[in-house]
Every structure is written in structure tokens, then in C-alpha cells.
Amino acid sequence: MTASTETGHPNVLAKAVREGVFAGVVAFLMFLLFVGIETYQDINNALVWRTRWGLLAIFVLVAAVSRFLSVGFIKPHIDRRKLAKAKSGVLEISEQKSFFHRHFLKIALVFLLVYPFLSLLIVGKQGSLKYVDNFGIQILIYVMLAWGLNIVVGLAGLLDLGYVAFYAVGAYSYALLSSYFGFSFWLLLPMSGILAALWGIILGFPVLRLRGDYLAIVTLAFGEIIRLVLINWTDVTKGTFGISGIAKASFFGIWSFDAGASNNFVKAWGLSASSVYYKVFLFYVILALCMLTAYVTIRLRRMPIGRAWEALREDEIACRSLGINTVTTKLTAFATGAMFGGFAGSFFATRQGFVSPESFVFLESAVILAIVVLGGMGSLTGIAIAAVVMVGGTEVLREMSFLKVVFGPDFTPELYRMLLFGLAMIIVMLFKPRGFVGSREPTAFLKERRAVSGSFTKEGHG
């Protein structure tokens, strides 16, 4: 076999060409209807279609060429490196971790703390709006949602496809209570969390006996029920019109961010008027909420209830035979997860100033779940990275106008968001089937702490 790898270059190239052509054929068949044909409405509002052979050809070429390169050059290169490493006897496990690797969390936290100021320094006030709001706040909301869902899915192993329902409960709790009764954000934030937790328990009761697929279906239905109630209960929620003009959060009641208020933050500090200060403030609020979620999750994992969650994920029957009340364990998992969803929801409402049922569709649940799975169930760091990649990635996509040069002027990158989302998921799952961070950090040790790589363990039960 060694001889063929060293002398078999033509062999590899022939194989690469074959695979490349094959990938091209597959891509052609796959994209023929999606990309090759476009439907649109003509002047008479009739639906007609036209072909986009050029775009289709580009898609097919990209698939074929990348397959050719990966089989012909990238894969042999990686194999050779692995072989060389194996020959030299250096195991990857024993490698000294780099400084960046060891202090990753500290570096990330410091970066997040200075991020708004960095962005103000580099791109100025107007440019910062985009970087602080679209990137920073947007990503952190998803980090928080995914960390909240992680408690239910990653720790307790209860597959929840309707998580967005709690996000919606939180958002509408804030929107309704603040516009009808004029309560402040800082009062309503914990209240939204409590209300969402209550709904978590309400959902929890009927699904106590369900697991796996069945649980997933019921939670999916629950998410839809909440959304349909929001749409149809027009007297209270204003239906699809949504609720607008939701009050902004204040700086703990000391300074307000409303333009007309006497204790306006900008006036109090003598700054020039800009909405960027409010965004920076919101950035720190959501950052603090995220840190709270992480702190609570880490603490709970070391407490009896957290251990019970993880044991429940592993084996429910064994749990019961050890005297764990699985009913309360499941309900607390649902309630805790839902509570963080509720916090995120009320933050979302105050940040947008507008909520409508449109924001709480099933796709949101799917995206949050995808982030949890991609990041590696149970791993906070992995999930945060996944959120940055997935949410940040879709935002970056909006900026990629240079793609128009490749794909033609009609190409709108945002529309391919889901396609790339799927592609990214497939790639990650191929190379890291357990998510970015697949190893689970043990919570108890006799002497030394040693994380065991996920690749040494059996498949977890989702």
C-alpha cells in the first residue's frame, strides 16, 4: 500500500477527476430546480419562470472543482501529515496547548468587555451601530438562548423543538406589561423570566412521560400553539400587527435613553446625540445576562440538581432507582431553561421596540437547536462559538457584495442564508460529529482534573 501512495500520483488524480465529475453531476441534479429555474411574477401578476443556466453552471463548477481539489490535493496532504506525525511518535493528545488555547475564555471575555469601545474607536459612532447592534447584540441574544436551551437539551437530554415559545412569552410579557401598565424594564425582566418559567412547567407536565421523538413533536406543537395564540388573540396582542413603541430600558432608573426625558443619558453626560450609546448600554446588558446564564449553568452542574439532570440524560431508569425524583428534575430543567428564554425575550422586546409573532416562528427554534448541537451539547464554550459562526456568519453574508461579481448582479447573498447554514452543519458534523467542543468536563474529581475527549466515549443520548 505504501508504494501506491508514493508512486500513485496519476492514480490519485484520476480518482480526483472521477469524484469531481461525480460531484458536478450530483450538484447539477440537486440545483437544477432550485437554482436553474427561477419563478417570478410578470406585469400581470401571473407566475412565470425563467432559466438561470449561468448561475447553475457556477454552482456545479464550484462543487466539482472543490471536490476535485479536496480529493486530489487536500486529502493526500492531510494524510501525509498525519502519517509523518504518527511516524515521529508525537501523539496529538500530549501536545502542549498554546497560550491562546489555555487562556481562551479569559481572552474572549476581555475582548467582549472592550468590544464596543474598540468598535467606536475603529469605525466611529455611525459604523459602530452596525457592529455593536447587528453583530454584538444579535449574537449575544442567540448565545443566551442557546445556553438556555442547552440546559434542557444538552444537560437534561430533553429534546425541545418549541423553545422559541418561551422567548415569545418573555418578549410579550415585557411588551404587554410595559405598554399597558408602564412597568420598567428592570422590574419586568425578572417577571418575564418567572412567567416563562411558569410556562415551562405548564409544558413540562403533559410531556413528563415522553422522551425523544415524541417529546420533540409535542414541544414543536407547543411552540406553534403559543405563536397562534399571539396571532389570534388580537384584543390583547394586536395579532400580526404586533406591538410597537415598547419602552426602552433605562440605566437602572438613573438615566433614561428616551430623547425627550429630562434625565437623558446623552444630555447628562454632555455628549452629542447618537443612538449608539443606547446600543452600547444594551450590549452590556445582554452580556451581563449571558454571563448570568453561564454562571448559573456552571453552578448548577456542580449541584445535586445539575447532576440529576445529567444523569437523567444518560439513563432515566437508573436515576429513579437511585432515588431521584424524575418528575421534579424534568420540571426544573424545563423551568430553568424557559426562564433564560424569557429573559432573552424581554431583552429582545426592549431592544427592538417592536414585537410580532413573525419573530417567533419554528425556524428560530431550529436555529437555536442547531447552535446547541453544532457547539456540542452541554459545552458552553462550544455553543458560544457556534452562535458566533452561525449568527455572525449570516450577518457577514449580508456584507458580501463581492459575491455579486462571481454570481452576477442579481445575486442576493442573504437569500442563500439557509443553504449555507445547512452546508455548515453538514461540514461540522462530518468532521466533528459531536460539535465544536465534544468533550464533557467532569464536575467531580478526586485529585486532578482531566477532560476526556469526546472521541473516546460512546454516542450520547440526545
Mapped onto helix, strand or coil, the DSSP state of residue 358 is helix
Minimum Å gap between C-beta 204 and another protein is 17
β partners of residue 354: 244
Environment class of 19 (CB within 10 Å of its CB; exposed 0-12, middle 13-18, buried 19+): middle
- d(CA 47, CA 361) in angstroms, rounded, equals 27
Point out which residues bind another protein (CB under 8 A): 304, 307-308, 310-311, 313-315, 317-326, 440, 442-446, 448, 450, 452, 456-458, 460
β partners of residue 39: 49
Minimum Å gap between C-beta 140 and another protein is 29
Contact in structure between 132 and 285 (CB atoms under 8 Å): no
Other C-beta atoms within 10 Å of 423: how many?
Answer: 11
Minimum Å gap between C-beta 31 and another protein is 40
Minimum Å gap between C-beta 53 and another protein is 51
- Which residues have a Cβ under 8 Å from the Cβ of 285 and sit 6 or more positions away? 249, 347
Q: Would you say 273 or 322 has its CB closer to another protein?
A: 322
All cell numbers assigned to 372:
446547541
Minimum Å gap between C-beta 319 and another protein is 8
Q: Would you say 92 or 459 has its CB closer to another protein?
A: 459
Minimum Å gap between C-beta 298 and another protein is 16
Burial code (b: 16+ CB inside 10 Å, e: under 16) for 112-150 equals beebbeebbeeeebeebbbbbbbbbbbbbbbbbbbbbbb
Q: Would you say 398 or 461 has its CB closer to another protein?
A: 461
Q: Would you say 107 or 327 has its CB closer to another protein?
A: 327
Contact in structure between 51 and 35 (CB atoms under 8 Å): no
β partners of residue 452: 440
Minimum Å gap between C-beta 205 and another protein is 16
Find where cell 418567572 sits.
194
Q: Would you say 263 or 328 has its CB closer to another protein?
A: 328
DSSP 80-113: HHHHHHHHHT--GGGSPPPHHHHTHHHHHHHHHH
Q: Would you say 284 or 436 has its CB closer to another protein?
A: 436
Minimum Å gap between C-beta 294 and another protein is 21
Q: Would you say 320 or 417 has its CB closer to another protein?
A: 320
Minimum Å gap between C-beta 448 and another protein is 8
Q: Would you say 3 or 446 has its CB closer to another protein?
A: 446
Q: Would you say 113 or 318 has its CB closer to another protein?
A: 318
Strands (DSSP E) contained in 339-439 are 354-355
Mapped onto helix, strand or coil, the DSSP state of residue 41 is strand
Distance of CA 174 to the CA centre of its chain: 23
Q: Would you say 145 or 319 has its CB closer to another protein?
A: 319
Minimum Å gap between C-beta 154 and another protein is 11
Contact in structure between 39 and 49 (CB atoms under 8 Å): yes
